[in-house]
Amino acid sequence: MLPGWGTRHVNRYRHLFVILALTGLFLWFSSKQPKGKPEAEGPPRLVLQITVDQLRADLPFRHASQFGLGGFRYLMDEGLVYIDATHQHANTETIVGHTTLATGAHPASHGMIGNVWFDRSSGQLTYNVEDPEHPLLTAGAGVDAKTEIDPTQRVARSDGRSPKRILTSTFGDELALFHAGRSKVFGVSVKDRGAIAMAGHAGKAFWFSKKSAAFVTSSFYYDAMPAWVDAWNAEQRPLRYAGTTWELSRDPGSYLFGDRDDRPFELDLAGFGRTFPHQYGPADDKYFTTQLTVSPAGDDLTLEFAEALIENEQLGQDDVPDFLSISFSATDYVGHLFGPSSLESEENILQLDRRLARLFQFIDAKVGLDRTLIVLSADHGGPDAPGHLKEYGFDVDYVDDSKFEQTPAVVALKKRLGIDKKILSAFFPPYLYLDREHIAGLGLDPVIVERDLAHALSQAEGVALAVSGHALTTGGVPDTPLVRRVVRNHNPRRSGDIYLVFEPGWFINDFDGLRVAVHHGSPWSYDRHVPSMVAGAGVRPTRVVRPVHTTDIAGTLSLLFGAKLPSGFDGTPLHEVFEARRR
């Protein structure tokens, strides 16, 4: 006891000692928290754009109560959340949505109107990012049609890849141009098109090769593979999954779909199974790497590679802002096989939440969340499986495209025109291609045939709308919200002869013999409504209910950094992003 201090003095000041101690403890604890909340000082050093493939807008909110802290909850609680964000084009496929997010342009302008299209100038079917002039840097890493789950890639004639078919600039392009090439721009994904579209022309892209079980790139980006990439691939991280299983991470009773693990519409892909646990099998099985990508393992590998990229390329380490796009693909593959209302989809999203939390912690440690602007959205949503919807009374089903020419109206039209053979030469959803040579040989007007056939096909089962390409080019279509979405998707040089829109809940599930539970690609809200969240870099929590569009994002980012708008920009800058950072 201090001299002259009695018990009375100690009691009088005891509360002061307690307050000082608690204050010190609070200050120490606050110093250990993530740095995502301070006011932003200057422009962000890093833009992290996350695209979750097939993440319908309602899914994060449906499972929000199951999330931990730091992942989706960080974006929802600390970020700017647009709850009514939609794509405005009709063909909601992977390359279309990714390129729209990257460019702020509609497909009619940026040119990526579908995962595949028929190139009339070359007379060949084209995969969106294929480029024979720029082969992969990894020998033997190209698409293997025997093991590739994505049928759209089977049409590629070359293993080469580049963004050269994207007709407009991206935000990443504009950032690089503004800073005279000093901004580092990267795109990473399991899918080549998911990485390439977001990296743009000025960036560099890496994607996962199922054939080589490694991340690869092409000669468009490098003359030789970076040493750190070779070192990362040499670790053979995919092999750690060999002989293991994808299992539930929680008690089955805690899941929304815990009692519905085995549904008749779910796909058993090469022994992967329809129920937990799902077997990855041995590393030498030809489907091993494919099964990695149709589970959270694919996202795990993507995250680990992205972390290595941030570290080795020193992203966000100086005052020149950098851009990194990460596209997580597992949600899309799991959705195709099992549907979004499945136990597999639920478990995948819960694991994605944990990976986002890990990513944000990594970014906070390496760059600082206060100097990183995070943007999360999706390239498209996805429907529920018809089998699931039927349980709730919906009249929906799968469409059989082999019966299109058996539609009574089409049979009658062909008889009237004297067409005695098959008139539809190919169907790559949503585009139908006509046998033009046969039409010309009969002396028929192709414009009239196209128009009348579109009208006849509109009467086929499951078809809501059929529009001729000529009518879309000339403007001879009704001005309705649905048709406007089709118009935004129409590029005369790449689009097909007839655009088909199926009724809500109806779609084709047979692609090159691969039957899937669900398939996206429609102009209906379940395919167009996606999350749109912005966080970090001083952004304050805000929830916005006004309608916004995915074309708005790229231009917003360009203006935020003082760069010019992407060349095809057709959106409206999101003023809330600027206001949220100023407050």
**DSSP sequence for 212-261:** TTEEE-BTTT-SS--HHHHHHHHT-GGGGGTT-EE--SS-GGGSTTTT--
Q: Coil, strand, or helix at residue 429? A: coil
How many structural domains does the chain have? 2
CA distance 57 to 213: 31
For residue 29, pLDDT over 50 is answered with no
Residue 34 domain flag: no
For residue 20, pLDDT over 50 is answered with no
Structure tokens that stand for 377 in this block: 């959205």
For residue 253, pLDDT over 70 is answered with yes
Residue 480 domain flag: yes
Please tell me whether residues 383 and 531 are part of one structural domain. Answer: yes
| Strand (E) or helix (H) holding 323 | strand 322-328
pLDDT for the residue 286: 94
pLDDT for the residue 5: 40
Is 429:113 a contact under the CB 8 Å cutoff?
A: no
For residue 126, pLDDT over 60 is answered with yes
Residue 39 domain flag: no
Q: Coil, strand, or helix at residue 155? A: helix
CA distance 112 to 233: 31
- Categorize the per-residue pLDDT at 51 as very low, low, confident or very high, splitting at 50, 70 and 90: very high
- CATH number for position 298: 3.40.720.10
Residue 510 domain flag: no
Mean pLDDT of 112-130: 89
CA distance 547 to 37: 27
Please tell me whether residues 343 and 453 are part of one structural domain. Answer: no
Q: Where does a domain end: 441, 473, 502? A: 502
Structure tokens that stand for 199 in this block: 């990296």
Please tell me whether residues 578 and 481 are part of one structural domain. Answer: no
Please tell me whether residues 288 and 372 are part of one structural domain. Answer: yes
Residue with tokens 């991206």: 170
Q: Which position has the higher pLDDT, 3 or 423?
A: 423
Please tell me whether residues 216 and 262 are part of one structural domain. Answer: yes
Please tell me whether residues 283 and 350 are part of one structural domain. Answer: yes
> Is the bond preceding residue 43 a cis peptide, omega within 30 degrees?
no
What domain range includes position 115? 46-390+523-582
Mean pLDDT of 456-471: 97
Burial (CB count <10 Å: 0-12, 13-18, 19+), residue 251? exposed
Is 576:80 a contact under the CB 8 Å cutoff?
A: yes
Please tell me whether residues 386 and 405 are part of one structural domain. Answer: no
Cα-based torsion angle of the residue sequence 89, 190, 511, 414 in order, rounded to the nearest 10 degrees: 30
Q: Which of 93-97, 218-222, 435-439 has the lowest mean pLDDT?
A: 435-439
- Categorize the per-residue pLDDT at 140 as very low, low, confident or very high, splitting at 50, 70 and 90: confident
Q: Which of 138-147, 299-308, 381-390, 441-450 has the lowest mean pLDDT?
A: 138-147
Residue 30 domain flag: no
For residue 15, pLDDT over 90 is answered with no
* DSSP E strand boundaries for 218-270: 245-246
- Categorize the per-residue pLDDT at 485 as very low, low, confident or very high, splitting at 50, 70 and 90: very high
> Is the bond preceding residue 430 a cis peptide, omega within 30 degrees?
yes
Is 518:363 a contact under the CB 8 Å cutoff?
A: no
CA distance 37 to 370: 6
For residue 573, pLDDT over 70 is answered with yes
Please tell me whether residues 438 and 497 are part of one structural domain. Answer: yes
Please tell me whether residues 168 and 80 are part of one structural domain. Answer: yes
Cα-based torsion angle of the residue sequence 193, 195, 197, 202 in order, rounded to the nearest 10 degrees: -140
Q: What is the pLDDT of residues 148-172, one digit of tens each?
A: 666 666 677 789 999 999 999 999 9
Average pLDDT, the chain: 91
Q: What is the pLDDT of residues 141-152, one digit of tens each?
A: 876 655 566 666
Query: Would the pTM of this model clear 0.85, i.e. be above it?
Result: yes
For residue 12, pLDDT over 90 is answered with no
CA distance 232 to 138: 14
For residue 10, pLDDT over 80 is answered with no
Mean pLDDT of 542-555: 98
Is 203:187 a contact under the CB 8 Å cutoff?
A: yes
Residue 341 domain flag: yes
Please tell me whether residues 232 and 362 are part of one structural domain. Answer: yes
* DSSP E strand boundaries for 136-274: 185-189, 204-209, 214-216, 245-246
Please tell me whether residues 429 and 532 are part of one structural domain. Answer: no
pLDDT for the residue 14: 45
Q: What is the pLDDT of residues 311-361, one digit of tens each?
A: 999 999 999 999 999 999 999 999 999 999 999 999 999 999 999 999 999
Q: Which position has the higher pLDDT, 510 or 102?
A: 102
Please tell me whether residues 200 and 308 are part of one structural domain. Answer: yes
CA distance 456 to 458: 5
Residue 11 domain flag: no
Is 331:193 a contact under the CB 8 Å cutoff?
A: no
Burial (CB count <10 Å: 0-12, 13-18, 19+), residue 373? buried
- CATH number for position 487: 3.30.1360.150
Residue 366 domain flag: yes
Structure tokens that stand for 312 in this block: 């080795």
CA distance 427 to 512: 12
Burial (CB count <10 Å: 0-12, 13-18, 19+), residue 187? buried
Mean pLDDT of 499-512: 88
**Number of helical (H) and strand (E) elements in the chain, helices listed first:** 21, 20
